[in-house]
């Protein structure tokens, strides 16, 4: 809100002089507008983003590691916090819905989906990461 300041306008659908309808977040009335629907609105940019969640990086216990026979370790570089992914899937997936993760990585999103009662589908091309996902979901 400090950056955007207080904005005034309308939120909704407007019909322009051309007869086409356009959807806007917030806009000022223009001379072209013939019919205006929606509601008067004012405030800062935060009114479009009512919920924020801060989450620190994933703790060590949420970062699966597998040791190969040669002693090297398999681990994912960008593991997401489980609490964050649980919040995100709950935010966008309807009850009993399906969560598709086309880049499953270490499987955090898949675990979050299971924990929240959703049906997960994960895709991962790196065979080493498949092992991480299996370890995470077996726990």
pLDDT single digits (tens) 78-101: 999 999 999 999 989 999 999 999
The whole-number pLDDT of residue 25 equals 47
Q: Which residues pair with 10 in a beta bridge?
A: 27, 40
User: How many domains in the chain?
Assistant: 2
CATH number at residue 102: 3.40.50.150
Longest dimension (CA), the chain: 72
Specify the pTM.
0.62
In terms of domains, do 25 and 75 share one?
no
Indicate the angle between helix axes 127-138 and 108-115, nearest 10 degrees: 30
Helix, strand, or coil here: 91?
Answer: helix
- 102 and 71 share one domain: yes
pLDDT class of 2 with cuts at 50, 70, 90: confident
Do 43 and 72 have their domain in common?
Answer: no
d(CA 20, CA 108): 44
Domain that holds residue 70: 60-138
């Amino acid at each position: 809100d400090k950056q955007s300041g207080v904005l005034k306008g309308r939120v909704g659908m407007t019909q322009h002089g051309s007869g086409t309808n356009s959807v806007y977040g917030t806009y000022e009335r223009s001379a072209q507008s013939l019919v205006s629907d929606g509601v008067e609105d004012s405030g800062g940019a935060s009114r479009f983003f009512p919920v924020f969640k801060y989450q620190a990086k994933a703790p060590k216990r949420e970062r699966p590691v597998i040791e190969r026979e040669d002693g090297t370790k398999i681990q994912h570089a960008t593991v997401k916090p489980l609490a964050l992914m649980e919040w995100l899937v709950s935010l966008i997936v309807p009850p009993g819905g399906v969560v598709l993760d086309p880049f499953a990585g270490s499987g955090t999103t898949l675990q979050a989906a299971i924990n929240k009662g959703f049906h997960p589908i994960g895709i991962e091309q790196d065979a080493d990461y498949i092992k991480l996902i299996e370890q995470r979901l077996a726990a």
